[in-house]
């Protein structure tokens, strides 16, 4: 058998017919009650589904589909020990079925049995004989367990692996959004949550919370960060544009020192001008090779990164400078942000791995990113 949704969909179609076929038998099959329970569960009438499933199981205690559904209902009702009992019975009959294994791992998580939960999810994720979408659920589940253990990098990698296998895995996008929000990668977090909302078919409470609370909070954080930059409240875009034109003209004539002055004027006029910040960094790089000059280059590249978090190439350039200047922790942050904007960027991942190894005490995390890097280098 494959996924629970497919199995239950088939049951929903044929249960009534099967019930009719057995109508002449003396012993009830429990199939009509099971079909009605599934219908009740789909509309979130959990108490009705619970009663119908109990009746169905009283007629046929070995119906794996009924046991799995009963366990799901008990999870949703918060009655985890009873869910554990039901999934244990299902596992004794069909322990190899993926839906049984996935639900068993989920229930173990709710029981705070993280080692068992992680093993259950990881075994599914690593089983290449399974469908990509099923393995994706395994990675996402493992990521949730890692997140509960505050293993942020490992959880991030698990969610990225889940998305690589199935870009429609809404749970993976959601939890990756949580990670980026917690790290302060607000633009990347916003992207993950927007994708989650588009993918999630049911407008449940989590979707509503993301739409009404999480996304507005992140948007506010992005706006606040921009407004807090010195001089941001007095931006003069017209003046900045004029200074940028003068700077570019000077640069094209090879007058790099003049260009540097005009780029500085442009950034002063508009502290949120990405072209001004990048131009100023390049002008300092061109005109001053001293350690003090290189420090200025790094400073203005960092400003450019702050102004435009989606500028992956600028983040990579800045991270390379941080590495050369021995700022390895900063390099880790910059490469990590570049990877958040472009998770398949090999240059960003390689840089992150090198920087993690330089920081010290991060070899395990570096190895995990290396495994992810090796994975995305292969064809699916």
Residue with token string 């600028």:
314
pLDDT of residue 379: 56
State how far the Cα of 142 lies from the Cα of 104, in Å rounded to an integer: 13
Phi and psi dihedrals of 298, rounded to 5? -60, -45
pLDDT of residue 360: 83
Residue with token string 């942020």:
152
pLDDT of residue 45: 95
What confidence tier does 203 reach under pLDDT thresholds 50, 70, 90?
Answer: low
Residue with token string 């999870």:
75
pLDDT of residue 25: 52
Q: Give per-residue pLDDT as tens, 351-370.
A: 999 999 999 889 999 999 99
pLDDT of residue 147: 97
- Please count the other Cβ atoms lying within 10 Å of the Cβ belonging to residue 278: 23
Q: Classify the phi-psi angles of 4: left when phi > 0, otherwise alpha if psi is within -120 to 50, otherwise beta.
A: alpha
The number of residues in the chain equals 380
Give me 196's structure tokens.
């989650």
Q: Give per-residue pLDDT as tens, 54-87.
A: 999 999 999 999 999 999 999 999 999 999 999 9
State how far the Cα of 272 lies from the Cα of 9, in Å rounded to an integer: 53
pLDDT of residue 21: 43
Give me 275's structure tokens.
């072209």
pLDDT of residue 15: 45
* pLDDT exceeds cutoff 50 at 16: no
Phi and psi dihedrals of 288, rounded to 5? -145, 105
Compute the half-sphere exposure of residue 6: CA atoms within 13 Å on the CB side of its CA.
8
DSSP string, 196-235: HHHH--S--HHHHHIIIIIHHHHHHHHHHHHHTSTTGGG-
pLDDT of residue 146: 98
Tell me the torsion sign for CA atoms 298, 300, 306, 308: negative
pLDDT of residue 316: 98
pLDDT of residue 18: 45
pLDDT of residue 362: 93
* pLDDT exceeds cutoff 90 at 7: no
Give me 214's structure tokens.
């999480």
* pLDDT exceeds cutoff 60 at 9: no
pLDDT of residue 26: 64
Query: If you average pLDDT over every residue of the chain, what do you get?
Result: 92
pLDDT of residue 204: 78
Domains and CATH numbers, the chain: 1-111 (1.25.40.10), 234-377 (1.25.40.10)
Question: Under 8 Å CB-to-CB from 253, ≥6 apart: which residues?
Answer: none
What confidence tier does 17 reach under pLDDT thresholds 50, 70, 90?
Answer: very low
Q: Give per-residue pLDDT as tens, 233-275.
A: 899 999 999 999 999 999 999 999 999 999 999 999 999 999 9
Tell me the torsion sign for CA atoms 293, 298, 301, 306: negative
């Amino acid at each position: 058998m494959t996924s629970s949704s497919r199995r239950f969909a088939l049951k929903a179609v044929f249960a009534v017919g099967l019930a009719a076929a057995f109508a002449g038998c003396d012993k009830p099959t429990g199939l009509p009650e099971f079909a009605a329970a599934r219908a009740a569960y789909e509309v979130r009438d959990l108490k009705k589904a619970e009663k119908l499933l109990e009746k169905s199981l009283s007629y046929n205690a070995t119906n794996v589909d009924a046991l799995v559904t009963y366990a799901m209902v008990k999870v949703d009702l918060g009655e985890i020990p009873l869910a554990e009992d039901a999934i244990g019975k299902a596992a004794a009959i069909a322990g190899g079925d993926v839906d049984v294994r996935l639900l068993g791992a989920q229930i173990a998580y709710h029981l705070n049995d993280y080692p068992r939960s992680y093993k259950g999810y990881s075994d599914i994720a690593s089983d290449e004989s399974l469908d990509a979408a099923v393995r994706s659920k395994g990675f996402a589940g493992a990521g949730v367990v890692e997140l509960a253990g505050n293993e942020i990098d490992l959880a991030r990698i698990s969610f990225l692996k889940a998305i690589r296998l199935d870009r429609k895995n809404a749970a993976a996008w959601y939890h990756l959004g949580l990670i980026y929000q917690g790290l302060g990668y607000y633009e990347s977090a916003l992207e993950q949550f927007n994708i989650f909302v588009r993918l999630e078919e049911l407008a449940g409470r989590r979707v509503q919370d993301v739409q009404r609370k999480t996304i507005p909070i992140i948007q506010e954080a992005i706006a606040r960060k921009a407004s807090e930059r010195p001089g941001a409240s007095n931006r003069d875009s017209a003046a900045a544009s004029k200074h940028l034109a003068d700077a570019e003209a000077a640069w094209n004539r090879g007058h790099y020192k003049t260009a540097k002055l005009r780029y500085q004027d442009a950034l002063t006029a508009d502290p949120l001008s990405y072209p001004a910040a990048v131009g100023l960094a390049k002008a300092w790089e061109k005109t001053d090779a001293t350690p003090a000059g290189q420090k200025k280059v790094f400073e203005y590249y960092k400003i450019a990164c702050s102004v435009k978090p989606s500028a992956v190439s600028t983040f990579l350039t800045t991270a390379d400078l941080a590495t050369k200047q021995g700022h390895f922790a900063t390099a880790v942050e910059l490469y990590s942000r570049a990877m958040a904007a472009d998770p398949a960027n090999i240059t960003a991942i390689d840089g992150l791995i090198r920087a993690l190894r330089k920081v010290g005490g991060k070899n395990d995390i570096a190895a995990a990113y290396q495994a992810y890097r090796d994975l995305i280098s292969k064809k699916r």
